[in-house]
Amino acid sequence: MENKNSKTDSRRQFIKKISTGSIIAASGLALSSLSSCKETSQEKTTLLTTDGKLVQVPNSEIGELEHQHITPEESRQGIPGKKWVMVVDLGKCKNAKKCIEACDKHHNLTPDRPYIKVLEMKDNEKSSPYWMPKKCFQCDNPPCVKVCPVGATYKRTDGIVLIDNERCIGCRFCMAACPYSARVFNWGSSPDQEVTTAYSPETSIPSKIGTVGKCDFCPDMLRKNKLPHCVPSCPNGVIYFGDEIDDTVTNGEETVRLSTLLRDKAGYRYMEELGTKPRVYYLPPVDRLFPFEKSTEENSES
């Protein structure tokens, strides 16, 4: 029988492994630790040890995961056992643009090259308009990957499409091939913000002038078991994110079954007929939370 000191040492070693990222976080529902942005010391997270055992660990003992720098070579592998997916509920979008602000800040972007755009959409002349957040769709059959002559754009095992700016030559073939216009070119403008971290395709910073960028699902946050920045920043819970393998997505406040959500609310993929197999789904703009309104800025531009 193990003594008390042996159990304590084993526990400490386990917590140490968590902080260094050598174990995979798991739960009965995918991203259960992401389902609430208001964690308390009484809450626990289910984690998978390296020997395949599930254990309950208080969140207060886990703490903040240390930053893990992922090199361009390592970033091509993806996060094991995951297939990331996003669902956007068009009935909840008010064009608050908080998702854009959070994304721009995290990726050190200027307003002229956002990774997220909120478009005014109208299905036909008799229907009312609605707002549609649009970003990279992380296609399973991505045209951008096929046309890149240097392998700078690649598809990972976890479903994410990334760009290695150190390999990108700025030919913009990928921009021409993308049917969603999801990519932007860095012409040289950047915020007055000093970036001291080493470059990683998982953070897209520091960006390189003369290369292409796009939404990346924030894989650096996913490695820390946190949601992409756009998800919790939305005040209306528009964006759901999760793991297709676990059939679970969350908007930071509620966690639901992906298959149930798509079935019950008629989820669809934008321009799916192109055969690109997007990993972003939309829920139709029915039962809207807000009436359609243009912002003051947009009214002045029109």
Record the tokens describing residue 100, joined without a space.
Answer: 């854009």
Q: What is the pLDDT of residue 194?
A: 63
pLDDT at residue 232, as a whole number: 96
268 contact partners, CB below 8 Å, separation of at least 6: 281, 282, 284
**pLDDT computed for residue 125 by the predictor:** 86
Give burial (CB, 10 Å; 0-12/13-18/19+) of 257. middle
* Topology, domain 74-283: Alpha-Beta Plaits (3.30.70)
Residues of the chain with pLDDT under 50: 1-2, 7, 11, 14-30, 32-41, 50, 64-65, 299-302
Sketch the domain layout of the chain as residue ranges.
4-62, 74-283
> pLDDT tens, 172-191?
999 999 999 999 999 986 66
What integer pLDDT is reported at residue 294 of this predicted model? 81
Q: Count other C-beta atoms under 10 Å from residue 11's C-beta.
A: 13
114, 103 in Cβ contact below 8 A?
Answer: yes
For residue 231, the model assigns a pLDDT of 97
Which of 255, 256, 262 lies closest to 281, judged by CA?
Answer: 262
Closest CA to 133 of 117, 113, 120: 117
- My answer on whether omega of the bond before 58 falls inside 30° of 0, hence cis, is no
pLDDT computed for residue 259 by the predictor? 97
So what's the pLDDT on residue 9? 53
Return the pLDDT at 270.
Answer: 96
Find how far residue 61's CA is from the centre of its chain.
26
- Cα–Cα distance measured from residue 140 to residue 159, given in angstroms and rounded to the nearest whole number: 7
Residue 62: CB atoms within 10 Å: 18
pTM: 0.76
Q: Give the separation between CA 148 and CA 110, rounded to whole angstroms.
A: 25
Residues 6+ apart with CB under 8 A from 187: 113, 209, 210
